[in-house]
C-alpha cells in the first residue's frame, strides 16, 4: 500500500488533522439550525476547500460537531491513508490485472498480493466492551433530540442526519452499508431516505417480497474515515463496502454486535442507532437541500424506529452539508472517481481517463477520453456506460480523443466546439435518471445526451466542414444589446469552429428562451455564433461554472435542445408547465438573511 497513515477511529483522524494544521476548533456558541451550515458553506467555498471544523460549543447539548473533515484534496487523501488517492487506484489496478503465474518465481512473487487480499474482510472484535457501546440508552432513555443534528437549509422539513452509515442485510444475509439521509421526526423515529436505485432500498424490497413485517437496521455515525468513505462508494451489488474499507485501511474493520438488533457495526463508531423499519409504514419526508444545489421534494419513505442509542464516552458527531458546488461532498466524489477508474477501464478498455465535473453534481455529466480503433466506438462506449451501475444515471456523456485530459475543461471545451457536429453528432436517448434530477418531465427516467467530439476515423462522418471562427461579432453583440429581454451575454471562445454564446434572459413566458434566441440569430448577419446557451436572469453568463451547473441540472435534452438552420439552441432556464414540465420545479438553496447577518457578527470570533 502506498499510504502513510492508518486510522482506527475518527478520533485518530481528528488528531492527525490537528497536527497537520488542517483542523480549526471553534469555541464560539453556535446553533445547529442553519448557523453551522452558513459557516461551513463559506469555508467550503474558500480556495482549496478550507479547513475541517470542530464546533465545540453547540446549542442544545455537549456533543461537538465535526464537519468538512473530507473537504479538500489533501484531507481526502489523508482520510484514505495516502498522500494521493491515485495510489489506491493503482493498487486496485494491480489486483484486477493479476496475470496467471508462469514460473515458480512468478508464483512466489504473487504470494504477498494474495496474502494481502485475505486480510480485507471485516472481523468481530474481541473487546468485552467495544468503544461504540461504552454508553447504552434503551427504553425511555432514547432521545434523538439530544444529538446535535443539523437543520441545513431554510426550507428543510426539519433536522437531518446527513453522514450516517446505514447498515442492512438482505434475506440471504448479504450486508449493505450506504449513506442515506435521515430526517429526525421525534426522539425515537426518523425517515429512511434510501433511493429506489440503492442497495438499501433493494434489501427493503427483498424483505417485503418474502412477507417480512420489518427489517432491522443499524446506523453508525462517526467511524474511521476509510469506512465512512466506503459507505459512500458505488460498490457493485452484493459486495460488502466494509471489504473496500479494509482494502483501503490495509487491515480489517473491527465489528461489534449490536445490543438490540441482529446486526454488526464498526466498533470504533462514535454513535450508533439501532432499530427497524416496518415494511408497510411510510411517512412524508423532506424537502431537503440537496447536493444538486436545489431542494429535493417531499415524498413517502420508510420510518426508522430506534430501539437503542449507543455511543462512546464524550462522543463526536460527524456530519456534512450539501448544496451548490463546491462543497465537502465534491472532494469525496472526486476520490471515488479516481479510485473506481480501474474497475470501469477493466470493463471498457478503450477508456483512457474520465472526469465527473463538480458542476454536473457527479451524476449529470461524464467526460471520457477514448482510445478509438473503429467507427462508432465512442457511441458504443456511451451505451456501455449508460448500462453500468451508477454510471447509468449519467445524463450527459462527452467523448474526446485519448490525448485530451478530461479534467482540463478549457481544452475539453475547445475540442467540443471545434469538433461537434450539430446536425449528426448529438446522440439523444432515454434511460434511468437519478432520483434528484428535476429537469425531466417524469421522475426517475428521461432523456440523455451523448456528444462525440473525437476525430472521425475512416468510415465515420467528417462532420461540419465550415468553420465560423473569426467572424465579426458586431451584429450579434448589437442584437443582444438592443433586446430588452437579454440581461447580459458572454462569448467564451471566438476562435473555434462553433462559437458559443451564453445569454441571460428575463424570462416571463413559455418558450421565450427559443424565441429570444431566434431573434438574435435573425439579426446575426455574419453568422458569428453557432451555439446559444440560455440561462435565467439571475445568472452571470461570464461565470462559466454556474452557467454549466445550470446546463447540467436544468436541461432535459429531448425537450430543451433545438436545431435551427445549422445552429443549436439550449434552454437551461427554469421550466414552466406549459413547456412540457408538469412536475414541481424545486427552489435553489439560499440562506436566510437573518442567519447571514448573525454569522457576519460572530465571524471575527470563529478563528477562521
394/488 same-domain check = no
Q: How far is CA 386 from CA 151, 429, 552, in A?
A: 35, 10, 16
**Strand arrangement, sheet containing 396-401:** 351-355, 365-370, 396-401, 445-452, 426-432
312/422 same-domain check = no
Which positions of the chain have pLDDT values less than 70? 1-5, 96-119, 462-465
Residue 4 backbone dihedrals phi, psi, to 5 degrees: -115, -10
120/264 same-domain check = yes
* 466 part of a folded domain: no
- How far is the C-alpha of 483 from the C-alpha of 478, rounded, in Å? 9
* 342 part of a folded domain: no
Given phi > 0 = left and psi -120 to 50 = alpha, else beta, which region is 478? alpha
pLDDT of residue 353: 97
* 510 part of a folded domain: yes
Q: How far is CA 181 from CA 54, 55, 158, in A?
A: 21, 21, 12
Residue 148 sits in a domain whose CATH number is 2.30.110.10
* 418 part of a folded domain: yes
pLDDT of residue 280: 94
- pLDDT tens track for 89-143: 888 877 766 555 555 555 455 445 544 555 688 999 999 999 999 999 999 999 9
State the pTM of this model: 0.93
- How far is the C-alpha of 205 from the C-alpha of 41, rounded, in Å? 36
- How far is the C-alpha of 283 from the C-alpha of 326, rounded, in Å? 32
* 459 part of a folded domain: no
Comparing CA positions, the residue from 123, 318, 132 lying closest to residue 218 is 132
Catalytic annotation, residues: 290
225/173 same-domain check = yes
* 336 part of a folded domain: no
The overall average pLDDT reported for the chain is: 92
Find the helix or strand (DSSP H, E) in which 37 lies: helix 35-44
Output the DSSP codes for 242-310.
HHHHHHHHTSPPEEEE-SSSS-EEETT-SEEEEEEEETT--EEE--EE-TTSBEEPPEEE-EEEEEEEE
pLDDT of residue 238: 81
- How far is the C-alpha of 352 from the C-alpha of 257, rounded, in Å? 44
185/295 same-domain check = yes
pLDDT of residue 235: 85
Judged by DSSP in three states, 188 sits in coil
DSSP code, position 322: -
Residue 390 sits in a domain whose CATH number is 3.40.1670.10
41/150 same-domain check = yes
312/406 same-domain check = no
14/118 same-domain check = yes
- pLDDT tens track for 347-374: 899 999 999 999 998 889 999 999 999 9
Helix-helix angle 328-339:225-232, to 10 degrees: 80
* 50 part of a folded domain: yes
520/427 same-domain check = no
Output the DSSP codes for 371-412.
---STTHHHHHHHHHTTSGGGGG-SEEEEEETTS-TT-HHHH
Residue 250 near residue 284, CB atoms below 8 Å? no
> In total, how many domains does the chain have?
3
Q: What percent of the chain has pLDDT over 90?
A: 82
> Residue 490 sits in which domain range?
474-575
* 395 part of a folded domain: yes
288/376 same-domain check = no
156/197 same-domain check = yes
pLDDT of residue 566: 84
- How far is the C-alpha of 358 from the C-alpha of 73, rounded, in Å? 13
389/521 same-domain check = no
Amino acid at each position: 500500500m502506498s499510504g502513510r497513515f492508518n486510522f482506527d477511529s475518527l478520533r485518530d483522524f481528528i488528531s492527525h488533522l490537528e497536527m497537520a494544521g488542517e483542523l480549526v476548533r471553534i469555541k464560539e456558541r453556535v446553533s445547529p439550525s442553519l448557523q453551522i451550515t452558513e459557516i461551513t458553506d463559506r469555508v467550503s467555498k474558500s480556495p482549496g476547500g478550507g479547513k475541517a471544523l470542530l464546533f465545540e460549543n453547540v446549542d442544545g447539548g455537549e456533543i461537538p460537531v465535526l464537519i468538512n473533515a473530507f473537504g479538500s484534496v489533501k484531507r481526502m487523501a489523508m482520510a484514505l491513508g495516502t498522500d494521493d488517492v491515485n495510489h489506491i487506484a493503482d493498487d486496485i489496478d494491480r489486483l484486477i490485472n493479476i496475470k496467471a503465474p508462469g514460473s515458480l518465481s512468478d508464483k512466489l512473487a504473487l504470494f504477498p498480493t494474495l496474502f494481502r487480499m485475505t486480510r480485507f474482510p471485516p472481523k468481530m472484535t474481541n473487546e468485552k466492551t467495544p468503544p461504540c457501546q461504552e454508553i447504552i440508552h434503551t427504553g425511555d432513555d432514547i432521545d434523538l433530540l439530544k444529538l446535535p443534528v443539523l437543520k441545513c437549509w431554510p426550507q428543510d422539513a426539519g433536522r437531518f442526519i446527513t453522514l450516517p452509515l446505514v447498515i442492512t442485510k438482505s434475506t440471504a444475509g448479504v450486508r449493505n452499508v450506504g449513506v442515506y439521509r435521515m430526517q429526525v421526526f421525534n426522539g425515537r423515529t426518523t425517515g429512511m431516505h434510501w433511493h429506489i436505485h440503492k442497495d438499501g432500498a433493494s434489501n427493503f424490497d427483498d424483505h417485503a417480497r418474502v412477507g417480512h413485517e420489518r427489517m432491522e437496521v443499524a446506523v453508525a455515525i462517526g467511524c474511521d474515515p476509510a469506512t465512512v468513505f466506503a459507505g459512500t462508494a458505488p460498490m457493485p451489488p452484493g459486495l460488502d463496502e466494509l471489504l473496500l474499507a479494509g482494502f483501503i485501511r490495509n487491515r480489517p474493520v473491527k465489528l461489534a454486535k449490536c445490543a438490540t438488533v441482529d446486526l454488526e457495526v464498526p466498533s470504533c463508531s462514535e454513535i450508533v442507532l439501532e432499530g427497524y423499519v416496518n415494511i408497510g409504514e411510510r411517512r412524508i419526508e423532506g424537502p431537503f437541500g440537496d447536493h444538486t444545489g436545489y431542494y429535493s421534494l417531499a415524498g413517502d419513505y420508510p420510518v426508522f424506529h430506534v430501539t437503542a442509542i449507543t455511543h462512546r464516552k464524550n462522543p463526536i458527531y460527524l456530519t456534512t452539508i450539501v448544496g451548490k458546488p463546491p462543497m465537502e461532498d465534491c472532494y469525496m466524489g472526486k476520490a471515488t472517481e479516481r479510485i473506481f477508474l480501474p474497475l470501469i477501464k477493466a470493463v471498457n478498455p478503450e477508456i483512457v481517463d474520465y472526469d465527473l465535473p463538480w458542476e454536473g453534481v457527479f451524476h449529470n455529466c461524464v467526460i471520457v477520453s477514448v482510445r478509438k480503433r473503429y467507427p462508432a466506438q465512442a457511441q458504443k462506449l456511451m451505451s456501455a456506460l449508460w448500462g453500468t451501475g451508477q454510471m447509468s444515471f449519467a445524463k450527459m456523456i462527452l467523448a474526446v480523443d485519448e490525448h485530451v485530459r478530461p479534467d482540463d475543461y478549457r481544452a475539453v471545451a475547445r475540442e467540443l466546439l471545434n469538433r461537434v457536429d450539430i446536425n449528426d453528432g448529438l446522440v439523444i436517448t432515454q434511460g434511468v435518471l437519478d432520483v434528484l434530477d428535476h429537469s425531466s418531465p417524469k421522475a426517475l427516467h428521461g432523456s440523455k445526451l451523448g456528444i462525440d467530439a473525437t476525430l472521425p476515423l475512416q468510415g465515420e462522418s467528417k462532420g461540419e466542414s465550415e468553420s465560423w471562427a473569426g467572424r465579426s461579432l458586431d451584429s450579434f453583440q448589437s442584437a443582444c444589446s438592443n433586446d430588452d429581454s437579454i440581461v447580459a451575454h458572454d462569448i467564451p471562445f471566438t476562435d473555434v469552429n462553433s462559437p458559443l454564446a451564453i445569454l441571460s434572459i428575463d424570462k416571463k413566458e413559455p418558450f421565450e428562451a427559443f424565441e429570444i434566441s431566434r431573434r438574435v440569430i435573425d439579426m446575426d448577419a455574419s453568422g458569428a455564433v453557432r451555439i446559444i446557451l440560455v440561462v435565467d436572469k439571475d445568472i452571470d453568463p461570464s461565470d462559466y461554472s454556474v452557467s454549466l451547473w445550470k446546463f447540467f441540472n436544468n436541461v432535459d435534452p429531448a425537450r430543451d435542445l433545438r436545431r435551427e438552420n445549422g445552429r443549436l439552441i439550449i434552454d437551461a432556464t427554469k421550466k414552466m408547465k406549459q413547456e412540457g414540465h408538469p412536475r414541481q420545479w424545486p427552489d435553489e438553496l439560499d440562506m436566510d438573511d437573518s442567519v447571514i447577518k448573525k454569522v457576519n457578527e460572530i465571524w471575527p470570533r470563529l478563528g477562521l
